[in-house]
């Protein structure tokens, strides 16, 4: 998937179907691929990618087939059931290798004022809203992977909430990859438009089936939050340890809006999660939580960028990482406070727990403040399991393995508690307990 190969693939794509869709789309794709050609894949010299080499992706043989490989993959409901939180009633779109699968998706009725459509159809049926926002929020000028997605995007989801609509149950997008995905890239794209004072929860699950390996997901989600809107966004990335993943959430926030993001990253050989938001409207705020659990040879990188662009905006950020084996984790938390963003209130925290001597974490808080009347704090810690706490537990009869697990879990518990959807919270608790279980039995509740 070297850059020249990609440019040739783009020409093929543009000639065969990439040009379909609304008339403004092909020029947007061209602008994006031109930008990608100029940027190239990021190198460690790029400060946004300082600790992460994307060589395995750049030099990989992933074919940027929009919509993924052969349509012939047929999954049954039972295959995806494990990823549904036992809530078949939620509005759910399922994508297999980057393509929407209507049969696996739930046709749950959309309440009045709520639109949830697969993107391939939305290009035809709702081009106006797409034209208004696609490519306007997700910044393909700065980010090569977003440019690539914008050039090749085809399937994904469009979620629209009319003003004042409050949706109680989550909207769930499930991106499943199967062994047939090997060697391919999928550039799924999601647009979320929340009207003023609308309120909803969107969950994105990225999962592998049947030990899918050697595929690349390059997902971009754009979110537009109207005045007073609240969007809870949960990204759960639990792909196989041989998957490649770059996922970006980029939001634009109106006055008094609130973005509540939770990013869980446990899968991937090389995985990068970006959460970017622009606090454009006065009084808007972002609460970002993240948990990354790494093991073996995994390299998992998270970057957050919060731009305080208006007065009285706030941000709250807690990311935690647990690293075992010879994994390598990266956290880069950027907070920019523009001159006009007086009374900004920002707090950032990144805590890491290293379970092995070989595991490594690079944590880099990055605050750039251009206003003078602001309150911004940040802190980063890297630690190991507390030996004294381990001994204390053992001295009460709790076995070594169980004591380790309990302490590891306790470290993560703080951010898991922040997950507002009980079903997801319970699942994450179980996943976290299981993840570092070693040979011991799983802890009960």
Partner 1 sequence: MLDIRNLQARVGGGADILKGITLHVNAGEVHAVMGPNGSGKSTLAQVLAGNPAYEVTGGSATLDGNDLLAMQPEERAHAGLFMAFQYPVEIPGVSNAYFLRSAYNEIRKAHGQDEVDPLEFLDIMEKNLALVDMEPSMLNRSVNAGFSGGEKKRNEILQMAVLRPRLAILDETDSGLDIDALRIVAEGVNKLRRPDNATIVVTHYQRLLNHIVPDFVHVLSAGRIVKSGGKELALELEEKGYDWIETPAEAVA
Residues of this chain that interact with partner 1 (CB under 8 A) are 386-389, 391-400, 402-403, 406-407, 409-411, 413-414, 443, 445
Shortest Cβ 430–partner 1 spacing (Å): 15
| CB of residue 444 to partner 1, shortest distance in Å | 8
Closest separation in Å from C-beta 412 to partner 1: 8
CB of 363 to partner 1, least distance (A): 20
Give the whole-angstrom CA distance, residue 140 versus residue 149.
9
Residue that is written with structure tokens 């030990």 in the block:
211
Q: How many helices (H) and strands (E) does the chain have?
A: 10, 20
CB of 400 to partner 1, least distance (A): 7
Cα–Cα distance between 341 and 394 in angstroms, integer? 51
In the chain the first and final C-alpha atoms are separated, in Å, by: 46
Which residue lies nearer to partner 1 by CB, 49 or 409?
409
Is the CB of 24 or the CB of 392 nearer to partner 1?
392
Helix intervals (H) in 14-116: 25-39, 55-58, 77-80
| Cβ closest to partner 1, residue 120 vs residue 398 | 398
Closest to partner 1 by CB, 314 vs 436, is: 436
3-class DSSP assignment, residue 134: coil
Q: Which residues contact 388 (CB under 8 A, 6 or more apart)?
A: none
CB of 267 to partner 1, least distance (A): 24
Residue closer to partner 1 (CB basis): 72 or 445 = 445
Nearest residue (CB) to partner 1, 55 versus 400:
400
DSSP SS3 for 152: helix
Instruction: Specify the residue, 30 or 425, whose C-beta has the smaller distance to partner 1.
Output: 425
User: Which string of DSSP letters, residue by residue, matches 314-348?
Assistant: EEEEEEEEEE-TT-EEEEEEEEEE-TT-TT-EEEE
Nearest distance from C-beta of residue 405 to partner 1, angstroms: 10
Sheet holding 375-383, edge to edge: 99-100, 91-96, 171-177, 199-208, 230-238, 258-265, 285-294, 314-323, 345-354, 375-383
Which is nearer to partner 1, 114 or 443 (by Cβ)? 443
Distances (CA, A) of 425 to 253, 367, 414, 416, 428: 26, 30, 11, 6, 5
Q: Residue 219's closest CA among 203, 232, 206, 200?
A: 206
Secondary structure element (H or E) that encloses residue 12, with its range: helix 3-13
- In the complex with partner 1, the residue whose CB is nearer, 70 or 410, is 410
Question: By C-beta, is 129 or 390 nearer to partner 1?
Answer: 390
Q: How far is the CB of 305 from partner 1 (least distance, A)?
A: 29
Token pair 């950032």 is at which residue?
Answer: 348
**What's the CA gap between 234 and 202, in Å, rounded?**
6
Segment holding 395, helix H or strand E:
helix 387-395
Task: Tell me how far, at minimum, the Cβ of 428 lies from partner 1, in Å.
Answer: 14
Closest separation in Å from C-beta 224 to partner 1? 36
CA 270/CA 296 separation, integer angstroms: 12
Beta bridge partners of 220: 189, 248
């Amino acid at each position: 998937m070297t850059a020249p190969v990609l440019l040739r693939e783009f020409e093929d794509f543009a000639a065969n179907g990439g040009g379909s869709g609304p008339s403004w789309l092909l020029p947007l794709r061209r602008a994006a691929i031109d930008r990608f050609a100029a940027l190239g894949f990021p190198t460690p010299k790029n400060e946004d990618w300082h600790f992460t080499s994307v060589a395995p992706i750049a030099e990989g043989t992933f074919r940027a087939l929009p919509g993924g490989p052969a349509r012939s993959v047929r999954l049954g409901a039972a295959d995806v059931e494990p990823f549904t939180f036992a809530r078949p009633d939620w509005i759910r779109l399922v994508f297999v290798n980057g393509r929407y699968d209507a049969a696996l998706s739930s046709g749950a009725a959309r309440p009045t004022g709520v639109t949830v459509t697969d993107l391939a159809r939305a290009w035809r049926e709702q081009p106006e809203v797409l034209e208004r926002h696609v490519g306007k929020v997700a910044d393909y000028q700065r980010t090569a992977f977003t440019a690539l997605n914008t050039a090749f995007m085809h399937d994904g989801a469009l979620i629209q909430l009319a003003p004042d609509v409050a949706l109680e149950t989550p909207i769930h997008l499930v991106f499943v990859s199967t062994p047939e995905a090997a060697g391919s890239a999928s550039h799924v794209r999601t647009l979320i438009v929340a009207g003023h004072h609308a309120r909803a929860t969107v969950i994105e699950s990225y999962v592998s089936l049947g030990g899918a390996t050697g595929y690349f997901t390059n997902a971009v989600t754009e979110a537009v939050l109207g005045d007073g809107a609240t969007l809870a966004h949960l990204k759960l990335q639990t792909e196989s340890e041989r998957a490649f993943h770059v996922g970006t959430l980029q939001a634009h926030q109106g006055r008094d809006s609130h973005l509540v993001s939770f990013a869980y990253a446990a899968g991937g050989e090389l995985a990068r999660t970006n959460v970017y938001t622009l606090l454009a409207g006065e009084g808007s705020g972002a609460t970002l939580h993240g948990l990354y659990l790494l093991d073996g040879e995994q390299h998992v990188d998270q970057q957050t960028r919060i731009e305080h662009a208006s007065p009285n905006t706030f941000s709250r950020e807690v990311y935690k990482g647990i690293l075992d084996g010879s994994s390598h984790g990266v956290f880069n938390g950027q907070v920019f406070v523009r001159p006009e963003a007086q009374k900004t209130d920002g707090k950032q925290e990144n805590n890491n727990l290293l379970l092995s001597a070989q595991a490594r974490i690079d944590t880099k808080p990055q605050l750039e403040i251009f206003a003078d009347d602001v309150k911004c704090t940040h802190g980063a810690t890297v630690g190991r399991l507390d030996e004294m706490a381990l001994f204390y537990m053992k001295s009460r009869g709790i076995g070594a393995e169980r004591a380790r697990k309990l302490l590891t879990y306790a470290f993560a518990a703080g951010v898991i508690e922040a997950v507002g959807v009980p079903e997801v919270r319970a699942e994450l608790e179980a996943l976290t307990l299981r993840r570092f279980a070693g040979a011991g039995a799983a802890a009960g509740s």
